[in-house]
Amino acid sequence: MRVIYNNLIDALESTAITPSSEYSTYYIENVQDQRLTTRWISDDSTTQTVIFDLGVTTQTTVYAIAGHVLNSGCTVTVKGNDDIATSGGSLIWVTSGESSTQSITYNAGIMLTFVNAISNRYWKFTFSGLTLPAEIGRLWIGNYVSLSPSSLDNFTVTKKRSDTVLYGRNRQKYASPGIGWREFDLSFPKSSSTMCTAIQTLYDTVGNHTSVIFCNFDTLRGYEIVEPCYCSIDGELSFTHQGKQSYNYSLKLSEDK
């Protein structure tokens, strides 16, 4: 069980991000907005790139894409670099300091890849084989925390909806369709103080205000109800002491759109 948080892209100034293109009003800075429906849209070129300058050499272990409209034949790769050129305030990729290429497998939902730690200052997403403009809500470069022991056997997934439904006196129905989302209630078994400290750091960083990516089964895909989820912690984090500074704790996560 993994939680991806603290997206390094979100803190960057606009001058530290250079896309190969952007469509009018759908600027690249939209990938820093937590709302998945606020998107960067490219032109109709079949290959698009986005280059980031993190400011300092930073270790990363996960790259992700959420809230996208990409064709299934699109190939997505990520590369790091210790060297860069600039022109007119834009970042120009060079090959001299490139790290190995990391591929992100296509998925209609959240696309992500976990890697062994790679340290670079500059990063580039490349989208190849596009048959329509790239349309993306969130690009993600960062790290994750593994929750161990996890709550693989003790969790509840609730499907919820925002439909507005009213009934007249004689059961005449008036309804306005909303949207659906998932809610996860997770209960964790006795955990070490080290693990509890890591969870506290997560909670202190994101609170209820910042979205995370929750992967119930790490890299396993294919179970729709527990597919990786773009969500927020909903409510408080509480610990119950179980002796010798070990604790039980629980988390509630609600899907964001």
Which of 147, 221, 216 is closest to 184 using CA atoms? 216
Complete domains list, the chain, with CATH: 2-143 (2.60.120.260), 155-255 (no CATH)
178 contacts: CB under 8 Å, gap ≥ 6? 161, 162, 163, 164
Chain segment 122-136, per-residue pLDDT in tens:
999 999 999 999 999
β-pair type (40-41, 238-241) = unpaired
pLDDT of residue 67: 98
Average pLDDT of the residues in 83-104: 94
Q: What does the alpha-carbon distance between residue 240 and residue 131 come to, in Å, rounded to a whole number?
A: 53
Which of 61, 81, 83, 84 is closest to 2 using CA atoms? 61
Q: How confident is the model at residue 222 (pLDDT cuts 50, 70, 90)?
A: confident
pLDDT > 70 in the chain, percent: 100
Chain segment 139-159, per-residue pLDDT in tens:
999 999 999 988 877 799 999
pLDDT of residue 74: 97
Gyration radius from the chain CA atoms: 20
Q: How many residues does the chain have?
A: 257
Average pLDDT of the residues in 48-58: 97
Average pLDDT, the chain: 95
